[in-house]
Structure 1
Amino acid sequence: MTISTTKKIAGAATAAGLLVALAGCGSAPTATSTTTAPAVAGFKPCIVSDAGGWNDKSFNEYAKKGLDEAAATLGVTPVEVQSSSANDYAPNLESLVAANCTLIVSVGFNLAADTVKSALANPNLQYAIVDDSADLNNDGKTDAPNIKPLLFNTVEAGYLGGYAAAAWSAQDGVNKVGTFGGMQIPPVTIFMDGFIDGVQKYNTDKGANVQTFGWDVASQKGVFTGGFEANDTAKQTAKSILDQGVDVILPVGGPIYQSAAQAIKESGKNTVMLGVDSDLAVADPSVASVLLTSITKHVDNAVRDTVIAAAAGKYDPTPYVGTLANGGVGLADFHDFTSKLPAGLTDELAKLQSEIIAGTLTVTSPSSPK
């Protein structure tokens, strides 16, 4: 990837502005004064992963991180159970009920049905679920009054990521970017919607023609691996997008980013990717050399604050929705690519973020939290 010296200098000059302007993207709401309050007698926080497991460098790992931080602050011992497959969800939840847990955090959309069933059967227990509204009836309300949804409007941050990807690809003269997902579920497609819409915003603003592959917002159809495992299926799926000639790719779905990085490195081309959920350059330095940036959601902070509030007797089942405005979602640092960014990009991203927060730029998805 050839980048002019002028663009390198300009990118470096504007990077500091981005870091200041996007500071809110890098942190979720801090815990309230309840962080210093002792836990109510008998308080026992618990958590169950989905099939991605605790080492996914994504929402499972960061949900556990949030619970561990809260438990350390409170001086309590949590119970943490890992699921290997969907068959583990119900029995794992049953084991947490049997362990006398007072707050149970379910991690992921795929645990919704079993979490609702468990919550209805145990109305005196408190629950929280990451990435789902627990509204199986689609009537606009949580199906059990003792479940707190922890949701993230990642379409907003995905929009910024898509704009940045388009700018990067246009700078190279490639003008092609792509994405693929693990499973076609709302917490995945919401990233893809934002990404594609952000590319289109760049095209509109710049009179450009950056093409997109792997997802169509209008039809809500695209390319998926069928799971979240980092395996040959995921690598071949990534390769199918790379074969379209893209020089930026967004894999959405936990560990499948590892397969995408492998496919990029084996291609021998100067393709880069975007991460999701956590800042992958920090969480997994092995992919930093091909990682432009990451579209983040601060699951750890949302879980931590929920646990601490519950420990102080202030559990509130009202859904939490992470946004750019409250710092629950954001765009990570560009790290090693900062000096190589197109001139003016960081200022443009800061302006877009301000407009989204102010409500003068509407960014939404069919999968946005209602």
Structure 2
Amino acid sequence: MKKIVALFLAVMMTASVTACSSNAPAASSAAPAAASSAAESKAESAAASDFKIGMVTDTGGVNDQSFNQSAWEGLQKLSKDTGVTVKYSESKQESDYATNLDKAADDGNNLIWGIGFAMADAILNSAKQNPDINYAIVDNAYEKTPANVTGVMFRAQEPSFLVGYIAAKTTKTNKVGFVGGMTSAIIDQFEYGYRAGVAYAAKELGKTITVDSQYAESFTDSAKGKAIATKMFSNGCDVVFHAAGGVGVGVIEAAKEAKKYAIGVDRDQAYLAPENVLTSALKLVNQAVELVSKDAMDGKEIGGQTYTYGLTEDAVGIPEEHKLMGDDTYNAAIALEAKIKDKTITPPANKAEFAEFEKGLK
């Protein structure tokens, strides 16, 4: 697969916002052009230094090895590139959401990010109380999005389909697993996209491959993730995919101890267990957070809409590294990318869609 890049600035689901271009005349000599460029750079730097962005994590925390960490890395990169001031607050429990959002508003932030669908109500309430501040949330789309709120969504079922296909092509026991964090429509995308990928490969291989599924009802309890995955491995699963934040760290630890395979999520998690993380379902939260924030800094109207990212925008996918699965399986998965992009295959995002997809395979 080609390297996933972050050049999907034009990606918008409900609205597309175009950048204003300068029509300044060309410089008459190299020296004035350089001076002009230096002046513009200084002005941009000064503008960035006046802009403040705050981020509030969900209960997974900023070092969850998953989407909170990825979001913060996106803001750190933006700060390095532009000089914008960025800060974060960690939520240890759901009751911290409102408190942390209030603090972020009191700190004078121009844009406040909430990371995770669990913060949806808290973001909505804070945005209502502070209409002059822009808010953005990862993994949530509102039925009616306020003018100062931006939703950011991913078609997570697409990379999940790919890793499900890889799991089915890799398993020796014809039994694979899925560990979810908290039951929700967002995690449904991962589970049913994965199940569909397994089913697609099973038909291709002429096999019956089963999927064991269990939820931790947590994004932080890595010990519970380890216990769930350990039991799955003991019961015959040899590949387990997690979409569970910090819980997934435990899943990967279990795979390492059992000498089986785990599939990571959001980031390339191979660094956690290089010989046991088969691949990862990438969701480039860092890129989305960086790009939407840059739009806000540039004065674009980002509110009142939802940005949606997927394979078509090179915003999700799988890592290029594929030593554990081999070239044949990797190349077959990459071939499926093209079919998803041209809509020959549409991975399901929920149970009902999966039932229809499965019916179409028969």
Aligned to 2:340: 356
Residue 107 of structure 1: aligned partner? 115
Query: Quick one: percent identity of the two aligned structures?
Result: 30
The answer to whether structure 1 residue 96 and structure 2 residue 104 are counterparts is yes
Structure 1 residues 145, 366: CA separation in 2 closer, same or farther (over 3 Å shift)?
Answer: farther
Match of 2:200 in 1: 201
Counterpart-to-counterpart distance in 2, 1:367 and 1:295: 19
Q: 1:332 — aligned with what?
A: 319
The partner residue of 2:297 within 300, 311, 332 is: 311
Structure 2 equivalent of residue 261 of structure 1: 252
SS in 2 for 1:86: coil
Aligned to 1:295: 281
In 1, Cα distance between equivalents of 2:87 and 2:238: 43
Structure 1 residue 231 displacement after superposition: 3.4
Shift of 1:237: 1.4
Q: Secondary structure at the match of 2:242?
A: strand
* C-alpha distance in structure 2 between counterparts of 1:178 and 1:325, whole Å: 27
Residue by residue over 1:118-150, the C-alpha shift from the partner in whole angstroms, topping out at 9 and shown as x without a partner, is 1111111111101111x2xxxx332x2211111
For 1:265, give the aligned amino acid. Answer: K
Name the residue aligned to 1:248.
239
Q: Deviations over 1:350-369 (max 9, x none)?
A: 2211011011212231399x
Could you say which residue in structure 1 is the equivalent of 2:265?
276
Pick 1 or 2: higher relative contact order, CA cutoff 8 A, min separation 6: 1
Pairs within 5 Å for 1:1-370: 22-23=1-2, 26-29=4-7, 37-38=44-45, 39=47, 42-133=50-141, 135=142, 140-142=143-145, 144-169=146-171, 172=172, 174-214=173-213, 223-267=214-258, 270-281=259-270, 285-317=271-303, 318-338=305-325, 341=326, 344-366=328-350
| Alignment partners' CA distance in 1, 2:193 and 2:154 | 13
How many Å apart are 1:335 and its aligned residue? Answer: 4.1
TM-score calculated relative to the size of structure 1:
0.81
SS of the residue corresponding to residue 140 of structure 2 reads: coil
Task: Tell me if the contact between 2:48 and 2:82 (Cα under 8 Å) persists in the aligned partners.
Answer: no
Separation in structure 2 between the aligned mates of residue 186 and residue 325 of structure 1, nearest angstrom: 22
Is residue 161–residue 193 contact of structure 2 (8 Å, CA) maintained in 1?
A: yes
Unaligned runs of 5+ in 2: 11-18, 21-40, 353-362
CA distance in 2, matches of 1:191, 1:333: 20
Q: What SS does the aligned partner of 2:112 have?
A: strand
Q: Distance in 2 between matches of 1:345 and 1:355?
A: 16
Q: Let me know the Cα RMSD of the aligned residues.
A: 2.1
Conservation of the 8 A alpha-carbon contact between 2:311 and 2:341: yes
Give the whole-Å Cα distance in 2 for the aligned partners of 1:251 and 1:350: 21
Q: How many Å apart are 1:30 and its aligned residue?
A: 5.1
When residues 85 and 186 of structure 1 are mapped into structure 2, their CA distance, relative to the original with a 3 A threshold, is: same
CA distance in 2, matches of 1:151, 1:249: 24
Runs of 4+ in 1 over 3 A off after TM superposition: 30-34, 36-42
* TM-score when normalising by structure 2: 0.83
Greater radius of gyration (CA): 2
Any conservation in 2 of the 1:248–1:272 contact (CA below 8 Å)?
yes
TM-fit CA distance, 1:308: 1.0
Cα deviation for residue 261 of structure 1 reads 2.3
**Cα offset, 1:78, TM superposition:** 1.6
Deviations 1:55-110 (A, max 9, x none): 11111011011111112222122222111111110000000111111100111111
Alignment length, in residue pairs? Answer: 320
Q: What does residue 36 of structure 2 align with?
A: none
